Amino acid sequence: MTGTEEPLVIGDRKIDSRLIMGTGGAANLAVLERALVASGTALTTVAMRRIDAVTGTGVLDLLRRLGIEILPNTAGCRSAAEAVLTARLAREALQTDLIKLEVIADERTLLPDPIELLDAAEQLVADGFTVLPYTNDDPVLARKLEQAGCAAVMPLGSPIGTGLGIRNPHNISMIVDAASVPVVLDAGIGTASDAATAMELGCDAVLLATAVTRAADPERMAHAMRLAVQAGWAARGAGRIPRRYWARASSPDVD
């Protein structure tokens, strides 16, 4: 198996891209469309909001026209109860059982509230959802989310929108090694090397938005992310050399 030809499988779905995109932060729908096409993504998030605060359903029309599967999220929810209701509304509005579960503790860090998150995950799994929780880079919490029946776990690399990359690669490795569901690195990606690193650590996919939508040239960065995810996945499969302290010649010894 080479490159990214092996599809990502989440629950009973095959996803034809290991780069999952978000739609937040794009200047307009035309910019977003070019970025999504360049990314090659097959699964993309949307948020749920009160209808009087927005105009039209342009982002849904765009995703459907591009043939991209919709992954609604519960962004903005601060409690399990809020997140569960938002997920149920998303399922009704969009006719999908997929949900990116976000339960945020505070606006300053946007870090997940682990207690509310696990509670919401248990309720949504029991209600028949395919739950993809956005979680802390905590191997114990990731294990508990998997045990609760989540279809994937999505640890952060660093806080949402910071572009600080993967602050604790060892934790990501431990999550990957213990998980039997897909691991999606979600949040904190700044540039292409961060996405490649996530895949080299053994993640099954990367989810990002800001790194593309707020880049100086979103379309070019989307293309870069697509290549980085493919390269990182291929390198992980190829098996990197062990790290050595001292040099080791690659040319034959001189007689």
Size of the site for other proteins (CB under 8 A): 37
**Smallest gap, in angstroms, from Cβ of residue 164 to other proteins?**
18
Three-state DSSP state, 120:
helix
59 counts as binding other proteins under rule CB under 8 A: yes
Letters for 3-22 (x = contact with other proteins by CB under 8 A, - = none) are: -------------------x
User: Can you say whether the dihedral through the CA atoms of 21, 113, 204, 48 is positive or negative?
Assistant: negative
Report the amino acid identity of residue 88: R
Q: What's the token pair of residue 116?
A: 């509310």
**Smallest gap, in angstroms, from Cβ of residue 175 to other proteins?**
21
Sheet containing strand 19-21, edge to edge, reads 19-21, 205-208, 184-186
Stretch (H or E) spanning 14 = strand 13-15
Candidates 40, 98, 99, 100: give the one binding other proteins (CB under 8 A): 100
Residues 188-227 that bind other proteins (CB under 8 A): 209
Point out which residues pair with 21 in neighbouring strands: 44, 208
Candidates 9, 37, 66, 93: give the one binding other proteins (CB under 8 A): 93
Residues 151-190 that bind other proteins (CB under 8 A): none
Shorter beta-carbon distance to other proteins: residue 89 or 115 = 89
Give the active site residues.
100
Point out which residues pair with 207 in neighbouring strands: 20, 186
**Smallest gap, in angstroms, from Cβ of residue 207 to other proteins?**
8
DSSP-assigned states of every residue in 155-193 = E-SSSTT-----S-HHHHHHHHHH-SS-BEEES---SHH
Point out which residues pair with 184 in neighbouring strands: 205
Candidates 9, 37, 66, 85: give the one binding other proteins (CB under 8 A): 85
**Smallest gap, in angstroms, from Cβ of residue 155 to other proteins?**
16
108 counts as binding other proteins under rule CB under 8 A: no
Q: Residue 46 phi/psi, 5° resolution?
A: -135, 160
Question: Nearest to residue 142, comparing CAs of 176, 92, 191, 99?
Answer: 176
**Smallest gap, in angstroms, from Cβ of residue 3 to other proteins?**
27
Letters for 23-52 (x = contact with other proteins by CB under 8 A, - = none) are: xxxx-----x------------xxxxxxxx
Other beta carbons within 10 angstroms of residue 21's beta carbon come to: 28
Shorter beta-carbon distance to other proteins: residue 100 or 236 = 100
List residues near other proteins by CB under 8 A.
22-26, 32, 45-54, 56-57, 59-60, 70-73, 75, 85-86, 88-94, 100, 102, 209
